[in-house]
Amino acid sequence: MNRVNKERHVYIFKSPEYFRRFFPNEQPLLKIGMAKDVSKRMEDLRGKCGLFDLARVSDCEDRPMEFYWKVEEVVHTELLNFRRLFNCKKFRNAKGTETEHQEWFAVDEEAALRTVQRWRRFTELEPYDENGILKDHWSRMIQPKNMEHPDAEEQWNDSQSRDIRWTKWLDEGAKECDNV
């Protein structure tokens, strides 16, 4: 495969009406995933899972990337506390039981978008070598002494403080990166 063929988009999907109808007492979930053809993935999910109003959260910084899987991995890790199993109402496996889908998050759109865009920006600084291993500069940046640690009073679901903390870390790393 050539380089372009390996590139994928990281997307955020929402399906607000679906979740209001089937899970009225819960925060609507968002799916954060990766695809080569986002429209096709959306069509697949609409049909397979009955997500009738599935739509993409608008993302003006979207572009296909080679290290899309790193973006997704880091985003999923940051949002781990918001991850939910989505008990699909339509798709049943071979045994006829309901299927639980991965990659769904009870997080608001803005926080999801900020997270995706931040780690996309990080990945564009080419912090990984060809094997997906962090280069020296960024390995140093993730040492505990080079990271700010959340204050005791920061709540686990305080997306804004978390965003500020990581954005600062990224900006500092990017600045030093230029000087290496």
Which residues in this chain contact Zn ion in the complex, by CB under 5 A? 49, 88, 91
Q: Identify whether the C-beta of residue 118 lies closer than 8 Å to the C-beta of residue 166.
A: yes
- Nearest residue (CB) to Zn ion, 50 versus 64: 50
6 or 46: CB nearest Zn ion:
46
Least separation in angstroms between CB 83 and Zn ion:
16
Shortest Cβ distance from residue 152 to Zn ion (Å)?
A: 40
Q: Which is nearer to Zn ion, 106 or 177 (CB)?
A: 106
Let me know: does 64 contact 120? Beta carbons within 8 Å: no
CA 88 to each of CA 33, 45, 79: distance values in angstroms, whole numbers, following the listed order: 17, 11, 21
Q: Where are the beta strands (DSSP E) in the chain?
A: 9-14, 30-35, 55-56, 83-92, 98-105
Shortest spacing between CB 36 and Zn ion, in angstroms: 20
Residue 90 CB, nearest distance to Zn ion (Å)?
Answer: 6
Nearer to Zn ion, 20 or 91 (CB): 91
Q: Provide the terminal-to-terminal Cα distance of the chain, rounded to the nearest Å.
A: 32
